Amino acid sequence: MKTTRKGNLRDCLFLFLIRLNSKFMKTPFYFLLLIALLSTLSLQALAAKKTASTPPAIQTISIAYLTQELAQPTEMLSNLDPFINEKGAIGAQLAISDNNTTGEFTHQQFVLQTFIVPEDGDVADTFTKQIATKFNYVVTNLNAKNTLTISTLAADKPILFFDAGTIDDELRGEQCKKNTLHLLPSRAMKADALAQYLLKKRWTKWFLVSGTAPEDMLFVNALKRAAKRFGTKIVAEKKWEHTFDARKSAQSDVAVFTQTDDYDVLVVADEKGLFGEYLEYRTWLARPVVGTQGLIATAWHKTHEQWGAAQIQNRFQALAKRSMEELDYAAYLAVRAIGEAATRTKSNELEVLSNYLRSPQFTLQGYKGNPLSFRAWDGQLRQSILLVAPRSFVAAAPIEGFLHPKTELDTLGFDQNESACHF
């Protein structure tokens, strides 16, 4: 028959007492002592049984995922890469599954509710009516304008935003918000990652080619900052303003366009992908292409398999039937950050989790070698940046040899003394 620990202790005590001196056994004191001890042990056993039969309360952490449908680009360089409208959402779903796996042991339940605003819909209206009063944690996959709009609307509300859609330096600088954490590396971080690698290769003379889109000019500014920061030189700069079909005339036109003074590397800023792919192998001089095409800097890429990345790549592939994209990775990290903070603090309270996420104690596994953490001064996620070719992993920045007093990850992007963010 199975006995409890307290039952064994009670039996041993009884045997001990009856083996005492027979004269002592016959005294009233003996019997009173025996009854008192046995009663105490019995009550303790009943209390333990009752406690064991009552499961602990479940903490629920509800997370909103807010995104907007995208219009398929009318100007596409090629049809080789299919248009994916749901980038990000599946990454969040995978993270919820991981959070709840841990939550089974910590008695926490994570719930994800997705809100998709139509292409012509009002993001602010959806946020105000369906999210603002119901959720403390909101993961956003929106453009910079909408991200800034809703974070401003919620300035006085108990909401913590996880920006998983923008790379704009302004949202981490002069337009930063205390209620927002940023998951993707900024343009400045990506430009610094490229500059470190080019400096290591001693490709210090750059030929900078950019498109005319506003996003291209933002990346140009980041590249110029990086060049100055790491002591490289932009020896030539041109804008690609051709309106013809590059697929038909690139062989001749690119060669003419790229005739300039000698340089080590062509650095391209073409975030929309309208011409950058056709610069490779067609330049007047035989030079490598880096930037938004060629060798690129990114938070995530299908070629990355180190530090446990192969496992999460396979898990995402099985769920989504496609490779994990950068936006998927950002949404995954956002939801996992919430889960990690809740697990470590054993809390679902906004103030507790928010303080912990910004503290030195918080770290997150990001499958990129170095643990990830948030910069307290601007909410940017510290992380390694992958330098990859279309079908090859090349390196991970920060590049060896670039040092920092606190962490080498802060050699990428705006350091605390450089930041224009003031909460």
DSSP string for residues in 147-190: HHHHHHHTTTSS-EEEE-S---SGGGTTT--TTEEE-SPPHHHH
Instruction: Note down pLDDT in tens along the chain; length 423 residues.
Output: 444 444 455 555 555 555 554 544 455 555 555 555 555 555 565 555 555 566 778 999 999 999 999 888 766 556 667 788 889 999 999 999 999 999 999 999 999 999 999 999 999 999 999 999 999 999 999 999 999 999 999 999 999 999 999 999 999 999 999 999 999 999 999 999 999 999 999 999 999 999 999 999 999 999 999 999 999 999 999 999 876 666 667 888 899 999 999 999 999 999 999 899 999 999 999 999 999 999 999 999 999 999 999 999 999 999 999 999 999 999 999 999 999 999 999 999 999 999 999 999 999 999 999 999 999 999 999 999 999 999 999 999 999 999 999 999 999 999 999 999 998
* CA dist., res. 86 & res. 386, Å (int): 23
Helix/strand/coil for 192 = helix
Please give the model's pTM, rounded to 2 decimal places.
Answer: 0.86
Right CATH number for 59-185+300-383 from 3.40.50.2300, 3.90.650.10, 3.90.1150.10, 3.30.1330.100? 3.40.50.2300
Q: Is 188-298 a domain of CATH 3.40.50.2300?
A: yes
* CA dist., res. 15 & res. 234, Å (int): 91
**Close Cβ partners of 219 (under 8 Å, ≥ 6 residues apart):** 187, 190, 191, 210, 269, 271, 291, 292
**pLDDT value of position 135:** 98
Closest Cα to residue 296, out of 274, 273, 317?
Answer: 273
* CA dist., res. 176 & res. 172, Å (int): 5
Distances (CA, A) of 208 to 9, 172, 192, 249, 327: 81, 25, 15, 21, 27
